[in-house]
Structure formats: structure tokens, C-alpha cells
A = this chain, B = another copy of it.
Amino acid sequence: MTPVASYLYAPDPAELGCRPGATRCEHCDVRRFAFCSALDPHELRELDAIVTQIGVAPHETVIFEGDDARYIFNITGGAALAFKLLPDGRRQIIGFLFPGDFLGLAPHGRYAYSVETTRPSTLCRFPRSELTALCVRHHKLEQRLFGMVMDELALAQDQMMLLGRKHARERVASFLFRLSERAIARGQVGDPVELPMTRADIADYLGLTTETVSRTLTRLQRDGYIRIERAERIYLERREALSDLAEQG
């Protein structure tokens, strides 16, 4: 299994919120959020030399669980999700990916999960072997990647707490709050939270069903925590209260 046709898709730069001419790492909008920020401007040329920029249409699969992990990717625009499947089709979403996030780092040379876009997206693709070589030459780069993997591990552990011990209300509240925090960290607005994924995606991330996610959101709105403008745009009316709800009852 290999993604093919999608790579030929040329996204409209405007819809990605990306500057068209930014093919050089030096001028990249999301560099400061990605591992690339570990390198000096002149070291960036070595990244430039091994990167391929790719446009991917929505709902296309970028990497397949179990495949040989030849590439590592950086998301520069759009949104994606990482997931694993059980043989009978049950799906668990491991995480949502936004500009600045990387994907494809795999133990033992095989992708541990699949990744598909939820929006038109742009990605930087690095051959794994060449990025590894770059890590050896530039220790800062490896340290940065190490740090990002540790952060991801900490997030995964928070998610275990959510999945194992939180109620539906707490899960949805946590989800909205974290999404807002991440948007702020990327320099975007945190109050109307944008949800670039379906209710089914949220459900498969939170260990619930679409119906429960929808009902819980409705209830949170009725109780004054949030206001749902459209399905994919939600205002956090009582940010602090929502955060409390997320961490307790």
C-alpha cells in the first residue's frame, strides 16, 4: 500500500493559509513550531536539500500502519489524524496533527499507525535515512526531535488517563480545552475553537460514539460552557469552568 495520486494534488495556497513562494525552509511559516527550528539559517540549507514539498487532498492516506518507514513528514498546512485499526474495523485515533507537528517517526523501521488528512494539506517529506544522517551532524536537531517525542509521550499518557478514567463530559471538555490551547500555541485564536474533523473522528479519539459526542456537546452548550456556532466552530464561553470540568467532574 502506497499513497500515490494524492501527491499530485496541487492545493490552492490560499486555502492552506500558506505563502505560495515559501518553498525555502528559511521562509517557512511554521518553522518555529517544527523540529526545523533547531537549525541555524545556514544549516537550514541542508534540510532544503533533502525535503520534498507535497500537497495532499482531504481524506487521503499519507502513511499506512505497518509500512516500511522510509519518510518522515512535517505538516505545514491543513490538518490530519493518526489512527490504528482492529481487525474488525474498530478505530482508535491516536492524535490530531496540525501545522508544525511531525509524523512518521517509527520504532523498528515500520510505521506504528496510519495518517490521513482531514483537510487539504501541505507536508514536507524527508527521507528517513538522510534525516537520521543530519541528526548525527547536527546534535541540536536530534535533541529537538527527542524533546518532541518526549512531549508526545507525555500527551499519550494524559490521553490514557482520559480514556481509562474520565467520563464522557470530562473527555469532551478536555478535548475542547486542549484543542484551544494548541491553537494558541500555534499563534492562532483560541476562543472560537476550530474543529477540522468530524464528530466520528472526535468519538474515535475520545473512546466514545458520535452520538455521545454530539449529545455531550449539546449538554455542555445547554449548561452554558460553550456555544456551538457551526458544528466545526465552538466558542468557549466559560473557559475556566471548562478546564475544571476537564480535570475533575
Contacts and interface: CB of A to CB of B under 8 A. Distances in A.
A247 B84 CA distance: 12
Contacts of A107: 147, 150-151, 153-154
Interface residues of A, number: 42
B207 A84 contact: no
A146 interface: yes
User: Which of A94, A113, A146, A164 counts the most B-chain CB atoms under 10 A from its CB?
Assistant: A164
A39 interface: no
Tell me whether chain A's interface is mostly helix, strand or loop, or mixed.
helix
A249 interface: yes
A88 B145 CA distance: 35
Interface in A144-182: 145-147, 149-154, 156-161, 163-166
Contacts of A151: 107
A240 B218 CA distance: 45
A90 interface: yes
30 contacts: A84-B158, A84-B161, A86-B166, A86-B247, A88-B248, A90-B165, A91-B165, A92-B161, A94-B157, A105-B150, A106-B150, A106-B154, A107-B154, A112-B154, A113-B157, A136-B139, A142-B142, A142-B146, A145-B146, A146-B149, A149-B149, A149-B150, A152-B153, A156-B156, A159-B160, A160-B160, A160-B163, A163-B163, A164-B204, A165-B207
Task: Give 8 nearest A-B pairs by CB, closest first.
Answer: A164-B207, A163-B163, A156-B156, A92-B161, A107-B150, A90-B165, A92-B164, A112-B154
